[in-house]
Chain A
């Protein structure tokens, strides 16, 4: 059974870069599926950030595209998120997730527990 675990700083200063890693166990990223990042500001709804395939192909939310990079490290079986020039609006619980099916990019069947990232000086 696949398990995902987010890690990274819980506090980031405004204008700096938020960096998170999602460690995957129980499944090899190289074997397929799509891997995504979704965030949820406190008390608010979900927002899709972007997806990556094991080949490295990425797709991003157009509202975040200029500030977001998602990368994959198949040797460590993990993928990462970077959001640059953060503001208080980027404060959220960040989830990493795996697509529900190998061929479907838009439904997420396995999720990490989420990690709260606060942006504050």
Chain B
């Protein structure tokens, strides 16, 4: 059982927007501004899309945005494209005794 809760699946059509949630507690998501989001295509290593809740690394399209409210973080993918179909994982800092916790992942399907 993962520390952070994500919906197992999300679906959207090309051009639409989809939002994926990531729920934790005040000991992780709610307590720190260190939420990251990763995209993982089948058979590939994860790729960081968002860090520190809202920041995009260089090269990540601005179609990817994120936010946090209380103990829940959210990733929004706008203008869905076929290549956005992948698994998405959130992670959060969870204190010095358990540095990084992950969500169980959400499979995004682009219809």
Contacts and interface: CB of A to CB of B under 8 A. Distances in A.
Contacts, number: 65
Interface residues of B, number: 25
A46 B89 contact: yes
A108 B103 CA distance: 15
Interface string B97-109: 1111111110000
Contacts of B38: 46
A46 B48 contact: no
B54 interface: no
Interface size class of A (residues with CB under 8 A): 20 to 34
Looking at chain A's contact residues, the main secondary structure is loop
Interface of B: 2, 34, 36, 38, 45-48, 51-52, 57, 89, 91-93, 96-105
Interface of A: 36, 38, 45-48, 51, 59, 61-62, 95, 100-101, 104-109, 111-114
